[in-house]
């Protein structure tokens, strides 16, 4: 299922990022897809070593670390450096499943993709199409978020980006290795965390909040693997 992290960046911040990205040196995005996925892919990307991408990517990672809902939902162990893409002129990415393991540029480290993330950088009214569609078993979800909002979904899901038929859809995308690999367990922990936050607002629940917080940490201890 999709998890939305709203307003990672304000509309003003996103407008500033987009303005700079519009001037960037874009290149054909099929170069970074595997041979099978490349056949389905038609978009533009920034090179991994593009200095603008590195700068904005670092700002994204810093903002993620300071966003409690992201930390609670993803339980991140490692975050791959964010990449940037642009779909326009009918560009699309057909149904595919993301690669399981990614190398970290300039390092021998490898990261398992548990969660895929898309940070929407274009105002939804500024382009047609470009919805992210993912299939979770029999359920098909279709989504397009406001600029500055982040979407998380399990990396093992079949998904696609619909053709952009008007305007341009800028986004950042990246992958996360989670402390808790299993989506169901992450979902249980997120629900428990949200319930504890809600209960914490009720003064009479103080002792139970302490107990439930302990339960949360003990479950995380059991399920976290590195
Ligand atoms: Ni993908």
Instruction: Give the confidence band of 215 by pLDDT, cuts at 50, 70, 90.
Output: very high
Q: How far is the CA of 217 from the centre of ligand 1 (A)?
A: 32
Region at 176 (left for phi over 0; alpha for psi -120 to 50; beta for the rest): beta
Residue 90 scores a pLDDT above 80: yes
At 111-137, the pLDDT tens digits run 999 999 999 999 999 999 999 999 998
Encode burial over 26-44: b for 16+ CB neighbours within 10 A, e otherwise. beebbeebeeebeeebbbb
Q: Among 26-30, 49-53, 196-200, which stretch is predicted with the lowest mean pLDDT?
A: 26-30
Instruction: Give the confidence band of 206 by pLDDT, cuts at 50, 70, 90.
Output: confident
- Taking residues 6-26, report their average pLDDT: 96
* pLDDT of amino acid 86: 96
At 160-197, the pLDDT tens digits run 999 999 999 999 999 999 999 999 999 999 999 999 99
Q: How far is the CA of 97 from the centre of ligand 1 (A)?
A: 6
- CA distances 193 to 116, 126, 146, 207, Å, are 21, 36, 26, 16
pTM for the structure as a whole: 0.94
What domains are there in the chain, each with its CATH number?
3-178 (2.60.120.620), 183-223 (4.10.860)
Q: How far is the CA of 103 from the centre of ligand 1 (A)?
A: 16
Q: How far is the CA of 45 from the centre of ligand 1 (A)?
A: 13
Q: How far is the CA of 41 from the centre of ligand 1 (A)?
A: 10
């Amino acid at each position: 299922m999709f998890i939305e992290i709203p307003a990672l960046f304000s509309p003003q911040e996103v407008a500033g990022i987009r303005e700079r990205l519009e001037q960037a040196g874009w290149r054909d995005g099929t170069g970074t897809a595997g041979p099978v996925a490349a056949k389905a892919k038609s978009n533009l990307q920034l090179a991994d070593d593009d200095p603008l991408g590195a700068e904005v990517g670092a700002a994204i990672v810093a903002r993620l670390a300071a966003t409690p809902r992201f930390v609670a939902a993803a339980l991140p162990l490692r975050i791959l450096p964010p990449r940037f893409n642009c779909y326009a002129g009918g560009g699309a990415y057909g149904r595919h499943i993301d690669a399981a393991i990614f190398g970290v540029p300039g390092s021998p480290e490898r990261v398992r993709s548990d969660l895929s993330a898309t940070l929407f950088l274009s105002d939804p009214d500024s382009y047609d199409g470009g919805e992210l569609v993912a299939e979770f078993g029999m359920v098909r979800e279709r989504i397009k978020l406001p600029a500055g909002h982040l979407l998380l979904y399990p990396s093992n899901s079949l998904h696609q980006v619909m053709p952009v038929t008007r305007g341009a859809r800028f986004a950042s995308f990246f992958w996360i290795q989670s402390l808790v690999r299993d989506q169901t367990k992450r979902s249980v922990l997120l629900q428990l965390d949200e319930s504890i936050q809600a209960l914490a607002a009720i003064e009479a629940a103080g002792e139970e909040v302490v107990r439930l917080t302990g339960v949360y940490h003990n479950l995380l201890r059991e399920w976290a693997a590195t």
